[in-house]
Structure 1
């Protein structure tokens, strides 16, 4: 509305500036005077046609003016159809309600857990905060390795090696399937309300190319394209936010406690937590193992488009 008012004001200012010219005003008046007879003639034709139509529509003229009646029906149908089209194009679409109806149909379990209330995702995390968190995580890992002669593999730093700060990372909530998205948002809400932990999304949907790139480092992931739930919009990696800063490393005691709570809450809403894995522990990772899911390219494309279409 503000943009409309500003644009209207600018247009009015330009028009008034142009009409400040006497020559332009004279030409404009001459133009309107020249078309006035044509406008009057056209208006009279329309009025006469309307009178004929009105007369032809009377019950006494059914047979005599049937062709005019056909035109009346055609014009009425055109305006009716036009009204329906205009209404459809201008009707306000509520994406939340669309998503609720979608989940009610395909995933009644999460719909029941949410009590029909769709959760809205938080704003996207600042890229600079993630970069700073990566640097901090690497520093803490180096300190840990200095203090421990035989340390275990650090998931967070291995993931950082995979590159959270690349342009291939997708942090858009709308690219995740609603069946997983709403479960994850419920976890975000419980972690904030119950434990006072603010969560941020590090990566959601992951392209096949990025998955193959990450699989080159077996300390990060062994899953290739379409073997990970990320390609289906059914997985995500998270971190925490404290005092305006993103915390990634599990070497931070506060973050480590957060990851444990995160795993418990995620599992309580039907998600699988990477912290339970035996080979590579991924504390910030959760995924929704959809029953009957076939890990194929066609399924991945279908689920991503399915989520986008319902939004």
Structure 2
């Protein structure tokens, strides 16, 4: 579409140059008149009018053909006005505009926090990095469980172990499935953590289906929330980890990662999110959620909020087709 608009402007510019240049018009006129059969009467009238129209633009004929000069001004004005309309109605719809309009209407608070600067999500983390992180977490668990875990906090259920039982490899990490009200808050946290503290963050799991939630609820050490009881089903929660030297770190028993989780909790709370690290029953340091005011945890509400996310995703798909 951009190429088409650019080509149209080039053609328009060349056409206007031809219209306003007497010499160019004479050369073009002579060329086309050679191709036209002079014996046909309709062409004589067109030739005579074209000649008058051409003469009207010559500086020495301004007084004689002033009435035709008005047509030149009209043609130029209409051409420029048409180009503006073409650009306005054919410019592509950007992801920024779509999400900006949505947040402006449904969540003025986050729109004000962002100051109109909609944040773009990072690329989805590679599956191989998640698998490597799980293996690394297993080694840490095996070597530190007996002593360091009890010394640190005997009540902590390891985030790495929880996600291993929860089949982290198959978790959904699609950003577009999260509701923009939560997604933009989380992306703001990502940005602050990177710029202020040097922590690069990755998304481990965003939207979670009610079926997967019920399966995870079978293990009370992972979660006690069943389907539609967790904010994951509404696209309003996510689990994160950190990336260090090109590798994902998911174990909270890593001191560097644990420091990052605590910073993450502080930053997440500063933008209106609830951090799982403050829970008393199951402390989930990588979890945050947006407890949207007035939210009713029903299947209908979950469908509505995820439909909003999908609608935006469909708009983006159509915009770039």
Match for residue 289 of structure 1? 291
| CA deviation string 1:82-116 (max 9, x = no partner) | xxxx9999651212111111101111111111111
Question: Is the 1:191–1:197 Cα contact (8 Å) retained in structure 2?
Answer: yes
Q: Whole-Å Cα distance in 1 between the matches of residues 117 and 129 of structure 2?
A: 31
* Offset at residue 160 of structure 1 (A): 2.1
| CA deviation string 1:213-232 (max 9, x = no partner) | 11010000000000000000
Match for residue 146 of structure 2? 146
Match for residue 130 of structure 2? 130
**Among residues 202, 208, 219, which one is paired with 1:206 in the alignment?**
208
Distance 1:302 1:285, change over 3 A: same
Q: Whole-Å Cα distance in 2 between the matches of residues 229 and 261 of structure 1?
A: 22
Question: Helix, strand or coil for the counterpart of 1:282?
Answer: coil
Match for residue 36 of structure 2? none
Question: Helix, strand or coil for the counterpart of 2:248?
Answer: strand
Match for residue 155 of structure 1? 159
Question: Helix, strand or coil for the counterpart of 1:250?
Answer: coil
* Offset at residue 288 of structure 1 (A): 0.2
Question: Is the 1:156–1:282 Cα contact (8 Å) retained in structure 2?
Answer: no
Q: Whole-Å Cα distance in 2 between the matches of residues 89 and 160 of structure 1?
A: 51
* Offset at residue 308 of structure 1 (A): 2.0
Question: Helix, strand or coil for the counterpart of 1:236?
Answer: strand
Match for residue 309 of structure 1? 311
Match for residue 171 of structure 1? 173
Question: Helix, strand or coil for the counterpart of 2:256?
Answer: helix
Match for residue 262 of structure 1? 264
| CA deviation string 1:46-84 (max 9, x = no partner) | x9xxxxxxxxxxxxxxxxxxxxxxxxxxxxxxxxxxxxx
Question: Is the 1:155–1:280 Cα contact (8 Å) retained in structure 2?
Answer: no
Question: Helix, strand or coil for the counterpart of 1:165?
Answer: helix
Q: Which ranges in structure 2 are unaligned for 5 or more consecutive residues?
A: 2-41, 43-85, 314-321
Q: Whole-Å Cα distance in 1 between the matches of residues 161 and 279 of structure 2?
A: 17
| CA deviation string 1:128-180 (max 9, x = no partner) | 111111111121112222325854332331222111012xx210100000000
1:98 correspondence with 2:102: no
Match for residue 6 of structure 1? none
| Structure 1 length-normalised TM | 0.69
Question: Is the 2:159–2:286 Cα contact (8 Å) retained in structure 1?
Answer: no
Map 1:58-97; keep pairs closer than 5 Å: 91-97=91-97
| Structure 2 length-normalised TM | 0.67
Q: Whole-Å Cα distance in 1 between the matches of residues 107 and 133 of structure 2?
A: 36
Q: Whole-Å Cα distance in 2 between the matches of residues 117 and 229 of structure 1?
A: 25
Distance 1:149 1:253, change over 3 A: closer
* Offset at residue 196 of structure 1 (A): 0.3
Distance 1:97 1:220, change over 3 A: same
Question: Is the 2:159–2:250 Cα contact (8 Å) retained in structure 1?
Answer: no
Question: Is the 1:156–1:250 Cα contact (8 Å) retained in structure 2?
Answer: yes
Q: Whole-Å Cα distance in 2 between the matches of residues 256 and 96 of structure 1?
A: 34
Aligned-pair RMSD on alpha carbons? 2.0
Question: Helix, strand or coil for the counterpart of 1:146?
Answer: coil
Q: Whole-Å Cα distance in 2 between the matches of residues 288 and 196 of structure 1?
A: 24
Aligned length in residues: 226
Q: Whole-Å Cα distance in 2 between the matches of residues 94 and 122 of structure 1?
A: 17
